[in-house]
Amino acid sequence: MNSHSYITFPIFKSYPELFCVFSTRIGGFSQGEYFTMNMGLNSGDNLVNVKKNRRHLFELLNIDENKLAIPKQVHSVSVKKVTKPGIYSDTDALCTNSVEIFLSIQTADCLPMFIYEPDKKVVAVIHSGWQGSLNGIVPETLEKLVNEYAIQTINLKVAIGPGIQSSCYEVREDVFSRFPDEFLNQHEDKEKKYLDLQSFIKNQLINQGVVGKNIYIDSSCTHCDTQKYYSYRRDKDKSGRMMGIIGLH
Ligand SMILES: [Zn+2]
């Protein structure tokens, strides 16, 4: 058993009914560039190894793979309400208030977001890259939670998991020209601009009524931490994927 194979978030610590983890690349079976715990079935890796990795992680976490809800992520603003496990096409966010359904996402640089409303016992997961974030996947998800479950955003607890950080997230002009200046940084090279997607999303959350102290942002950079995380930008088409999972027992 290798507890380094996943991380948890301190903001969810006081809720025993809540299950929330994010996998690392440590402790699996994949070889070469994909070392070692690649969870991505469509990442170009040997499928036998990926399936072994998945089985290994679910055993470690003591959850049944058949209870997962899995979105086919497309950088959209589509949010789906989930009442049974299975595959959800063309969507980048899922929510549920059903127990024993585990909402999942896969990332490698894009931000994995996990949301819990402890009063109504509602969970949500979001896959948020620059495109989905800019187009409003985060406010769309919060509106869905308000409309479907009558939650109050002031009660939400949010964890933004490991992703690419602003220090590494250089973006092209056609991307940065679409973001407000306050979320763009410059380093030594004044020609280059770096997107602070975490701050952009935090600002969206606060605009929707989420309280600042209820937002946890993991400071790990997937692009820098070669040993612990996959990075699509760094590893390109040889990049594995981490998996984030949230659900209610
Ligand atoms: Zn970095």
How high is the pLDDT of residue 1? 39
User: Given a cut of 90, is residue 108 above it in pLDDT?
Assistant: yes
User: Given a cut of 70, is residue 69 above it in pLDDT?
Assistant: yes
User: Given a cut of 60, is residue 2 above it in pLDDT?
Assistant: no
> In whole angstroms, what separates CA 245 from the centre of its chain?
9
Give the pLDDT mean for 83-104.
98
C-alpha 109 – ligand 1 centre gap (Å): 10
C-alpha 234 – ligand 1 centre gap (Å): 10
Give the pLDDT mean for 120-127.
98
How high is the pLDDT of residue 154? 98
- Average pLDDT of the residues of the chain: 96
Instruction: Give the CATH number of the domain where residue 41 resides.
Output: 3.60.140.10
CA angle 92, 217, 231 (to 5 degrees): 60
- Residues in a beta bridge with 183: none
How high is the pLDDT of residue 3? 64
How high is the pLDDT of residue 187? 82
C-alpha 183 – ligand 1 centre gap (Å): 16
- pLDDT tens digits along 181-190: 999 999 877 7
Name the residue among 79, 92, 211 with its Cα closest to residue 156: 211
What range defines the domain where residue 23 resides? 3-248
In angstroms, the Cα distances linking 135 to 139, 168, 205, 228 are 9, 22, 14, 30
How high is the pLDDT of residue 189? 75
C-alpha 196 – ligand 1 centre gap (Å): 12
Name the residue among 159, 173, 179 with its Cα closest to residue 246: 159
SS3 state of residue 125:
strand
C-alpha 165 – ligand 1 centre gap (Å): 6
Q: Which residue has the higher pLDDT, 188 or 153?
A: 153
C-alpha 135 – ligand 1 centre gap (Å): 24
Domain count, the chain: 1
